[in-house]
Amino acid sequence: MRTLCFFEYLIGTSERVSFSKTPKHFTTFLHPQPNLDHSMDNVAYTQLLQSTASSQSLIHGKEVHAHMIRVRFNPCLFLQNNLLNMYCKCGDTTFARRLFDRLPKRDTVSWNSLISGYIQTGHTDRAMDVFVQARNANVKIDRFSYGTMLGICSRSGDLKLGKVIHGLVVVGGFHQHVFLTNSLIDMYSKCGRIDEATRVFDNAAELDDVSWNSLISAYVRIGLAEDTLKILSQMHQLEMKMNSFALGSVLKSCSSLKSSKVVGEMIHGCVVKVGLDFDVFVGSAMIDLYAKNGALNSAVKVFRLMPDPNVVVFNAMIAGFCRMEVEIENELINEALGLFSEMQRRGMWPSKFTFSSVLRACNLANAFEFGKQIHSQVFKNSLQSDEFIGSALIDLYSNSGSMEEGFRCFYSVPKQDIVTWTSMISGCVQNEHFESALSLFHDILSIGRKPDQFTISSIMSACANLAMVRSGEQIQSYAIKVGFDRFTICGNSRIFMYARSGDVDAAEKTFQEMENRDVVSWSAMISTHAQHGCTRDAMMLFKEMEDCMVAPNHITFLGVLTACSHGGLVDEGFGYFESMKRDYGLNPNVKHCACIVDLLGRAGRLADAEDFILNSGFDYDPVMWRALLGSCRIHGDIERGACVAKRIMELEPDASASYVILYNMYLDAGKQSLATKIRDLMKDRGVKKEPGLSWIEIGASVHSFVAGDKSHPQSHAIYAKLEEMLSKIEKIAYARTETLRFNDPSPEKRQNLMNCHSEKLAVALGMIALPEAAPIRVMKNLRVCQDCHTTMKLFSESERREIVLRDPIRFHRFRGGLCSCRDFW
């Protein structure tokens, strides 16, 4: 009765429905001329219902249904099934169920229609209930019902239920139908059981092109590239038809193979032979494969041959320009940005992937202004809340140093996944906001998010830069607990953390325990030995790296050259410098050349170092001249040092380092008046010297000091301990010619010793607070001075304690009155 009322309502309102977009035949059938009979036959109603089902126009379908009731038409079962199918296709499963329950007679099509309707609207549980009801009602279920249920198992990953359906298929005698064979292969592969999928394939009574392509997709899905190629070869031998999806999937899987470029070219030939070289899906896969292997010319050729590239093809090419494993050239990145402009000229609508790829290109090319323009388009298209675009924007602003904008982008993403959090943490580490990085990591854990290996790597880098080894060890313990310690990236960060904290032994142990070392692992360990003055260890490790067939990169050679520089090995350093270009095809950058300048300068070959700068092509870079200026001070070449300092001041008028070095050089030579002029020049130009800051980690706390600092709660005890230590080393200093600075007993000199540098205060606190067996590790933001270096040697001898002092350039490990740098720094 309620159903009848509903239809009466439809009949009463049907005349008021707008027919401006109604097909002509609807107007003819539903609003006939007055002199025509209003009744229609099953065929006419069926055509109307099938038309509405195709267009998914629910209002038109209801009008047809209402018309059938108004003229009291008695539909056959075939027409009733079409009516049920119409409601299901239009998404009105509630009324479809009502109609189904009132059907006087149902067949297999009726049950299949309702099951399909529930699946289309996402109600898989209801679809499963209907399937069970059909079996309980002894309905003869056909292969399409079983195929539909296997599709549910594929989407949900319900292997247990899938096996039950498989058993019913066999019992029902449908296992020989190729349609169900393909459904079973798809179900098992999506549930991660490639062995079962292969068994179904091998035991099938009949196979078609879909069967082979489904099996290929299954192997591609789990990353078995070599097995995928074997199946593709068998298909080719049996002359089976390959579709574009299968070939595109195979091309994507080939990128993991060592010989992926060769294999890709072979498949490319196959693609051309079967006539799919213009297919956009296959074309985008080819572009991606060539780009990943560095064959950008081939990728560009494929792109240019595409007659009508769509957004997906453009995205593949843009991303291809940003996927080079070697150093990115700005010319290539500009090509990517040019493609984005071409997309806009063609009137294409960029996708989320387009924007994220273009933003990555802006990051690589340091095209921050262009990136900001892209950001405005992202905002215009209301895509700023996308997590992938949000991460790319965070990287953009982090790389440009705009952390405030980076945080604004971070908080504008409502769904902050772990990638977004990691991007923000990495940006903080990159811009030396280490405390903010640690705070973000704490927030991740507090809201119950699970960090990944990249998050762990970034936060350990923050601990490394702060020399917070205790905090780093706690994070390492967390990584072990969740199983991230096996990842190479975490092992590399752990090496870096221990190295930056001055614990070279722990770094070496971590390196030896790593199962999968990459070039970053070797480079990190070589650099660690170099910074700690272990020159021979660094060179031996480099030789071992070559024996293991690991190709060094720019960072590796920078570590080796640094080791040679700190060890005074001129010939060996030049040998590595030449090998870098000759044997590995790596072009030295300004940092490598600065190492050579430092190497020559420390060896006293100041003229050679200056000639090297002038011929290096980097004579415009202040880093090169600053390395020479430091050597001029070491060897007391005041005249050359003054000229070099003048050159640096022209290149970097606001940088204080060159002024300070020249000032100290004049003081060392006893030229007080010239030193005073440099100090006055700094005042006139508004150049301020960066204050010296030292810090030490005691337990879970970090204690920092500046020169003459008395703000610490234990200040009285610290100065008392320092007084005690200075009294001890005076006795040793009198017996050594190398420490004549300490032989001045005047009150003024004594006062200067007490108004000590920050590292002395930090060491004194370490002597008080740390156990005798624990080394004292102090970090400083400026280079250690000669007086403090000598003092630390004497402290290590008088107190019988190991002291590790890190400055921005290297580590000094003091033991028994000696330093690991051998006074060569």
Integer Rg of the chain from CA? 38
Give mean pLDDT, residues 777-806. Answer: 88
Indicate the pLDDT class of residue 30, thresholds 50, 70 and 90: very low
Residue 503 is predicted with a pLDDT of 83
For 415-513, list the strands marked E by DSSP: none
Say which amino acid occupies 407.
Answer: F
447-453: long-range contacts at Cβ-Cβ below 8 A with a sequence spacing of 24 or more? 449/418, 449/421, 450/418, 450/482, 451/418, 451/421, 451/422, 452/418, 452/422, 452/484, 453/479, 453/484, 453/487, 453/489, 453/490
Is 70 exceeded by the pLDDT of residue 641?
A: yes
* Least confident piece of the model among 230-244, 466-480, 491-505, 674-688: 230-244
Indicate the pLDDT class of residue 539, thresholds 50, 70 and 90: very high
Q: Is 751 exposed, middle or buried (0-12, 13-18, 19+ CB in 10 A)?
A: exposed
Indicate the pLDDT class of residue 312, thresholds 50, 70 and 90: confident
Instruction: Order across the sheet with 776-780: list the strands.
Output: 701-705, 694-698, 776-780, 803-806, 811-815, 818-819
Residue 147 is predicted with a pLDDT of 79
Is 90 exceeded by the pLDDT of residue 822?
A: no
Q: Is 642 exposed, middle or buried (0-12, 13-18, 19+ CB in 10 A)?
A: middle
pLDDT, tens digit, 9 for 90 and up, residues 764-784: 999 999 998 888 989 888 888
Task: Give the integer Cα–Cα distance in Å for 63 and 86.
Answer: 12
Indicate the pLDDT class of residue 554, thresholds 50, 70 and 90: very high
49 near 79, Cβ under 8 Å?
yes
Tell me which of 650 and 237 has the higher pLDDT. Answer: 650
Give mean pLDDT, residues 546-561. Answer: 92
Q: In this structure, what token pair is assigned to residue 431?
A: 């811009």
Find where tokens 């009294």 sit: 727
Task: Give the integer Cα–Cα distance in Å for 235 and 274.
Answer: 13
Calculate the average pLDDT of the chain: 80
Indicate the pLDDT class of residue 220, thresholds 50, 70 and 90: confident
The secondary structure of residue 818, as a DSSP letter, is: E
Residues 6+ apart with CB under 8 A from 445: 451
Residue 803 is predicted with a pLDDT of 92
Task: Give the integer Cα–Cα distance in Å for 688 and 655.
Answer: 8
- Helix H or strand E segment including 803: strand 803-806
* Least confident piece of the model among 457-461, 653-657, 723-727, 815-819: 653-657
Q: How do strand 776-780 and strand 803-806 relate by DSSP bridges?
A: parallel
Residue 325 is predicted with a pLDDT of 41
Give mean pLDDT, residues 268-293. Answer: 79
Global confidence as pTM: 0.62
pLDDT, tens digit, 9 for 90 and up, residues 643-655: 988 898 888 888 8
Residue 823 is predicted with a pLDDT of 74
Indicate the pLDDT class of residue 323, thresholds 50, 70 and 90: low
Q: How many other CB atoms sit within 10 Å of the CB of residue 595?
A: 26
Say which amino acid occupies 184.
Answer: L
Give mean pLDDT, residues 315-336. Answer: 67
Q: In this structure, what token pair is assigned to residue 356?
A: 């994220």
Q: Is 515 exposed, middle or buried (0-12, 13-18, 19+ CB in 10 A)?
A: exposed
Residues 6+ apart with CB under 8 A from 715: 709
Residue 259 is predicted with a pLDDT of 58
Can you say how many angstroms the Cα of residue 149 is from the centroid of all Cα atoms in its chain?
A: 38
Q: In this structure, what token pair is assigned to residue 247?
A: 């070939």
Q: For 526, phi and psi rounded to 5 degrees?
A: -65, -45
Domain layout of the chain by residue ranges: 416-499, 705-819
Give mean pLDDT, residues 483-494. Answer: 86
453 near 494, Cβ under 8 Å?
no
782 near 808, Cβ under 8 Å?
yes
Q: Which residues of 779-808 are buried (b: 16+ CB within 10 A; e: fewer)?
A: bbebbbeebbbbbbbbbbbbbebbbbbbbe
Q: In this structure, what token pair is assigned to residue 311?
A: 């957004």
Task: Give the integer Cα–Cα distance in Å for 330 and 370.
Answer: 14
Residue 485 is predicted with a pLDDT of 79
* Least confident piece of the model among 212-216, 421-425, 707-711: 212-216
Find where tokens 């388009």 sit: 377
Indicate the pLDDT class of residue 107, thresholds 50, 70 and 90: confident
- Select from 313, 292, 298 the least CA-distant residue to 244: 313
Residue 764 is predicted with a pLDDT of 93
499 near 528, Cβ under 8 Å?
yes
Indicate the pLDDT class of residue 475, thresholds 50, 70 and 90: confident
Residue 552 is predicted with a pLDDT of 92
Residues 6+ apart with CB under 8 A from 152: 119, 124, 127, 128, 158, 161
Residue 671 is predicted with a pLDDT of 84
Task: Give the integer Cα–Cα distance in Å for 536 and 568.
Answer: 11
Q: In this structure, what token pair is assigned to residue 613?
A: 């700068």
pLDDT, tens digit, 9 for 90 and up, residues 115-164: 777 777 777 777 777 777 777 777 777 777 777 788 878 877 778 888 88
The secondary structure of residue 32, as a DSSP letter, is: -
472 near 438, Cβ under 8 Å?
no
* Least confident piece of the model among 156-170, 420-434, 492-506, 520-534: 156-170
Find where tokens 């579709």 sit: 243
Is 70 exceeded by the pLDDT of residue 705?
A: yes
Quick one: CA torsion of 102, 104, 105, 109, rounded to 10 degrees? -30
Q: In this structure, what token pair is assigned to residue 754?
A: 């007490």
* Least confident piece of the model among 126-135, 472-481, 525-534: 126-135
Tell me which of 550 and 747 has the higher pLDDT. Answer: 550
Residues 6+ apart with CB under 8 A from 725: 764, 767, 795, 798, 799
Q: How many other CB atoms sit within 10 Å of the CB of residue 330?
A: 11
Residue 736 is predicted with a pLDDT of 41
- Helix H or strand E segment including 221: helix 209-221
Per DSSP, the residues of 392-418 read: HHHHHHHHTT-HHHHHHHHHH-SS--H
Task: Give the integer Cα–Cα distance in Å for 800 and 795.
Answer: 8
Is 60 exceeded by the pLDDT of residue 610?
A: yes
Give the range with max mean pLDDT: 60-69, 242-251, 506-515. 506-515
pLDDT, tens digit, 9 for 90 and up, residues 167-212: 878 877 777 788 888 888 888 888 878 888 888 888 887 888 788 8
Residue 742 is predicted with a pLDDT of 38
Alpha carbon distance, N-terminus to C-terminus of the chain: 98
Say which amino acid occupies 719.
Answer: Y
